[in-house]
Amino acid sequence: MRLKKLELYGFKSFAERTEIVFKEGITAIVGPNGSGKSNIADAVRWVLGEQSAKILRGASMQDVIFGGTQRRKPLSYCEVSLVFDNEDKSLPLDYAEILVTRRVYRSGESEYFLNRASCRLKDVVDLFRDTGIGKEGYSIIGQGRIDEILSRKGEDRRQVFEEAAGIVKFRARKEEADKK
Ligand code: ATP
Ligand code: MG
């Protein structure tokens, strides 16, 4: 499985429809301060279901929608998609390519889609659980996260290793079953 593409529309500073293609190998994103590098990482977190405005560096969840500039009107919604290559079927869906999309309007409520079919946040979270890709995964290491992992309490650190070992799904299923 590999991240092939990120598509943004109206997300933070990306008012224009923007495509970022990740070729095989390493992709580095460089640019001056304030040019939108961190906004790209925020977009990846957001589409994977991030619910915390603070983690997304905003005051409210609507702050992810392009808020306008002197020359350009604010937008009424934003949408981000991640495209994964799934030729190796490492994600348990019978598609060679998986498109995960999140959209939000100024009115609030987020919508999620898997390969353009409407789905729940839970479906997105379940799909990526134990792959390391989910918003709690270790695939996005934010500023300060390394220190955090090193200095955290054993219990918290264990979560990172459990995700890497691929056993979080069993714990989640057990917790769900216990609730019933
Ligand atoms: P640095 O090198 O300083 O870390 P960066 O490239 O990571 O910079 P970002 O933090 O990604 O920069 O981008 C910040 C820019 O995004 C700011 O100019 C800010 O005004 C703009 N921005 C953030 N949210 C919105 C929004 N909702 N609408 C319009 N612009 C936004
Ligand atoms: Mg930054």
**Is 179 among the domain residues?**
no
Predicted local distance difference test score (pLDDT) of residue 164:
77
**Is 167 among the domain residues?**
no
**Is 61 among the domain residues?**
yes
Predicted local distance difference test score (pLDDT) of residue 63:
96
Q: Which CATH number does the domain housing residue 43 bear?
A: 3.40.50.300
Terminal alpha carbon distance of the chain: 34
**Is 145 among the domain residues?**
no
Predicted local distance difference test score (pLDDT) of residue 109:
86
Report DSSP state, residue 74.
P
**Is 7 among the domain residues?**
yes
Say how many domains are in the chain.
1
Predicted local distance difference test score (pLDDT) of residue 169:
82
Question: What's the domain range around 19?
Answer: 2-120
Predicted local distance difference test score (pLDDT) of residue 8:
98
Predicted local distance difference test score (pLDDT) of residue 144:
66
**Is 178 among the domain residues?**
no
pTM of the model: 0.87
CA–CA separation, 53 and 38 (whole Å): 14
In 36-71, which positions are buried (b, 16+ CB within 10 angstroms) versus exposed (e)? beebbbbbbbbbbbbeeeeebebeebbebbbbeeee
Question: Which residue has a Cα nearest atom 2 of ligand 1?
Answer: 33
Ligand 2 midpoint to CA 72 (Å)? 23
Series of mean pLDDT values for 10-residue runs along the chain (180 residues): 95 97 94 96 94 91 96 97 95 95 94 97 91 77 74 76 81 88
Pocket test for ligand 1, best of 8, 13, 35, 45 (most atoms within 8 A of CB): 13
CA–CA separation, 63 and 92 (whole Å): 33
**Is 11 among the domain residues?**
yes
Predicted local distance difference test score (pLDDT) of residue 79:
98
Q: Which residue has the tokens 């030729």?
A: 87
Amino acid sitting at position 76:
S
ipTM at complex level: 0.98
**Is 139 among the domain residues?**
no
